[in-house]
Amino acid sequence: MSKTKIGWIGLGNMGIPMSLQLIKAGYPVTVYNRSKEKESPLKAMDAAVTSSPGELIQQTDVIFIMVSNDEAIGDIFNGKEGLLSAKAKGKIIINMSTVSPAISKEMAALCHEQGNDYLDAPVSGSVKQAEDAALVIMVGGKEATFKKAQPLLEKLGKLALLVGETGAGNSAKLAINTLLSFHAQGLAETVLFAQEKGIKTGDMLSIINNSALGNIFTKIKGDAILNDNYKAAFALKHIAKDLRLAKAEGLNSPLSKIAYQTFQEAEAKHGEEDIIAVIKQIGK
């Protein structure tokens, strides 16, 4: 697959480091982004740029998409100069965005009508994992298509796992992001309770991170709390959106109800900050 021509749509916090991994691996990469200034880091690495998704799909073999929501996916596929407008055939389209299973099923059907294959392949991990090619990628779609794409996915993450048919990757992502919301809210509540009892935040975080409960998340987000640094690696607005998607898919468990309420309330004031800024909402 070394000569496979890669197209990449979406150059946000995750899209830039992920697409750079493919350039570093020696693949020719062509990019499209609505905000043209975000294409600069890729151009500096000799990536080509295009003026539309329709132009991009004509020039490439495998197209990756990493955008924020269902609406953006609809525009990329169905817009006047969208992917489907080119009527290209024989392409593999890999949607790595966190979106609803329903939109993946809809877009997969439209791709199939034109003779293309579609995978939904959202990721677990944030910017640091994208920079280290250590993402966990959960994939929905046909096994034959997954096997074709697997060498590329393995350049982006430490695990690429086919979990079911179209939409299954999206469902798995909504499930793990539900757990992510529990971790964030739980860490925030633990730190705040300890503070109320006169325990220093640094001491509480040392206890957590040296216990069986410590993990990469508690270390990174604990450091963010200590340093009062809420610059978004994973914006709070995104977890609020993901919980809405999960609720729409039927998630109705006790903890999910609480997390849903907390993050919906936090989104208005702290949506552009990192997920762990939820501590501000809880501690207000």
pLDDT tens, residue by residue, 102-133: 999 999 999 999 999 999 999 999 898 999 99
CB burial class (10 A; 0-12, 13-18, 19+) of residue 252? Answer: exposed
- Given 173, 221, 237, 241, the catalytic residue: 173
Q: What tens digit of pLDDT does each residue of 152-196 get?
A: 999 999 999 999 999 999 999 999 999 999 999 999 999 999 999
Cα→Cα distances 81→51, 92, 128, Å: 9, 18, 33
36 and 154 co-located in one domain: yes
Number of domains making up the chain: 2
147 and 196 co-located in one domain: no
178 and 103 co-located in one domain: no
CATH code: domain of residue 133: 3.40.50.720
What share of the chain in percent tops pLDDT 90?
Answer: 95
CA distance 94 to 76: 13
User: Please, where are the H alpha helices in the chain?
Assistant: 15-24, 40-43, 53-59, 70-78, 101-113, 127-131, 143-153, 168-196, 201-209, 216-226, 236-248, 254-270, 278-282
- Residue 226 pLDDT exceeds 50: yes
Residue 258 contacts by C-beta under 8 Å, 6 or more apart in sequence? Answer: 185
- Residue 2 pLDDT exceeds 90: no
CA distance 93 to 78: 14
Domain that holds residue 203: 172-282
Residue 67 contacts by C-beta under 8 Å, 6 or more apart in sequence? Answer: 9, 10, 12, 15, 73, 76, 97
Two structure tokens written together for 219: 């270390």
Q: Can you name the residues that pair with 86 across neighbouring β-strands?
A: none
User: What pLDDT was estimated at residue 8?
Assistant: 98
- For this structure, is 173 an active site residue? yes
84 and 201 co-located in one domain: no
Q: How far apart are the first and last CA of the chain?
A: 53
Residue 228 domain flag: yes
Read off the pTM: 0.94
- Residue 16 pLDDT exceeds 60: yes
Residue 1 domain flag: no
Closest C-alpha among 103, 112, 115 to residue 65: 103
User: What pLDDT was estimated at residue 173?
Assistant: 98
- Residue 1 pLDDT exceeds 70: no
